[in-house]
Structure 1
């Protein structure tokens, strides 16, 4: 009986060895890249490397990213045993802010890991912060005038020049206290609102250009409902 049991165990081990032989295996060099802190509008580029640690060709069926802001380019869809492939990624931070995590998915013929996740993570800041970021005026009476101060704060390490101040509606006027912002400096954007037509919705923008390579435009939304003018 002991001899029969030993033969069964040996046969089982051989069977398992055959079952797991001839498989591809994806092995990541590093699955997460932390790009630290960047300014909105900057692009992050990083190359992920992975090896086929199996003994059959690794076939990459497709690559998918969590949003259109991240582009991934694969060096090869077929990776021979022992070979290394690269996945070049680019993240465009335009219109992002705060903590960001972007995921790229690799679909392959690795039987134990058919979907492999790669991550780009970090923090996106704005070079110039508007405080408040928008003017929600709720309800305004037609013919009245209201004025608001919006602070523009330069968070970048360089001097930024502002230009081309304009509004998209005649009901909104704007004036800037300074066109040059040194690092850490603030300017005040005085916004004057005079709604005209009762029962309509006021909606427009205050627009500014900057000489920044990353944040070329600033937009301050201004909106609210216009009520009938108050009586005497």
Structure 2
């Protein structure tokens, strides 16, 4: 009896599975692309080279292959698409329509561009081709290259530190060639395409020959207030290498300084600890080192929920150049700890307003009945 049941179960399973096995062709047969070459291997290259390789992609499946987009796994790798006439076709859709439809047996022509700037050692990326149907897996074409350094910039990161808006200074870097033959430095540009170098930055090549060339960097104020991070490309005349990159960093502060006299927190007023019956004053010294851009202090506001316990006084030492702002805290504030801000308002192109934090502690009396 058990043998008959097992046999019947096997027959039912076979009847159910048989139509499914022949109901549709395999997905791989319907949607299949083949690339020639199947992988892009640029071999060995120097850092700074821009490499190109053409790839032909053919629809070897049984159904049309509408291409939604072509993308790469890194910004250093760029994919380009061309029609049969050689005209470049966008690799991203502008609407709901595919960028190109490959009929069975048809091919499309692509080009992989690899930018080696900033790359070292073995680098592996991919170019991916996406179907308009998300259920169809994308086709990935491996891209690889072994990058060695041809030119070395020292230092590669130039730290300018803290600067004032009116500062001017010079720095020196070196560019060293590593077995590349004849080469020349022809100019300097921004690494960002279409962006100009700032007007306050100048370069002078001190050495025209030799494996090591010195470059003088001149920085001439006025500088933009805030963080500096220009990314520079040194343009090179060489059959294979067109440039080498380095970056500059720094912080530019306005020509107006605010000094409370504290070594670590110059822009902070610390009242420390004092008794409830005391009144304590702290003074902020303001100095403008650029008289041609006067700092004209107009108002000082105490920002605190207990503002009635604070008194502000200002002293103009040299109009537009030097001021003293004094803040007095009254210990009768009734709080063990207090904090707030001084808001300074002035006429100045870079420092129209400035917040100066303040804080302090008031000693609390011991509860009655407790000993000393």
TM-score between the two structures when normalised by the length of structure 2: 0.44
Per-residue displacement from partner, 1:158-216 (whole Å, max 9, x unpaired)?
A: 3112245799556x6654342135xxx221223455x6559956967888553235426
Is 2:208 aligned against 1:179? yes
| The structure with more radius of gyration | 2
Task: Name the counterpart of 1:33.
Answer: 40
Matched residues in 2 for 1:165 and 1:9: separation?
Answer: 74
Partner SS, residue 16 of structure 1: helix
Is 2:171 aligned against 1:137? no
Partner SS, residue 130 of structure 1: strand
For residue 237 of structure 2, the aligned residue among 211, 214, 224 is: 211
CA RMSD of aligned residues (A): 4.5
Maintained 8 Å contact 1:72/1:90: no
Partner SS, residue 172 of structure 2: strand
For residue 63 of structure 2, the aligned residue among 46, 52, 57 is: 57
Task: Name the counterpart of 2:321.
Answer: none
TM-score between the two structures when normalised by the length of structure 1: 0.64
Task: Name the counterpart of 1:77.
Answer: 101
Partner SS, residue 122 of structure 1: strand
Deviation at 1:71, TM superposition (A): 1.3
Maintained 8 Å contact 1:31/1:48: no
Is 2:48 aligned against 1:47? no
| 212-221 or 27-36, larger mean C-alpha shift | 212-221
Q: Which has the higher relative contact order, 1 or 2, with Cα contacts under 8 A spaced 6 or more apart?
A: 1
- Structure 1 runs not aligned, ≥5 long: none
Maintained 8 Å contact 1:176/1:188: yes
Q: How many residues align?
A: 219
- Structure 2 runs not aligned, ≥5 long: 85-99, 190-196, 258-288, 290-372
Per-residue displacement from partner, 1:7-59 (whole Å, max 9, x unpaired)?
A: 7515632431123369504154665322233342423213154552x5x3242
Deviation at 1:152, TM superposition (A): 0.2
1:55-134 pair list within 5 angstroms: 56-66=62-72, 69-73=78-82, 77-80=101-104, 83=105, 85=107, 87-93=109-115, 97-98=119-120, 99=123, 101-107=125-131, 113-124=136-147, 127-134=150-157
Matched residues in 2 for 1:88 and 1:201: separation?
Answer: 43
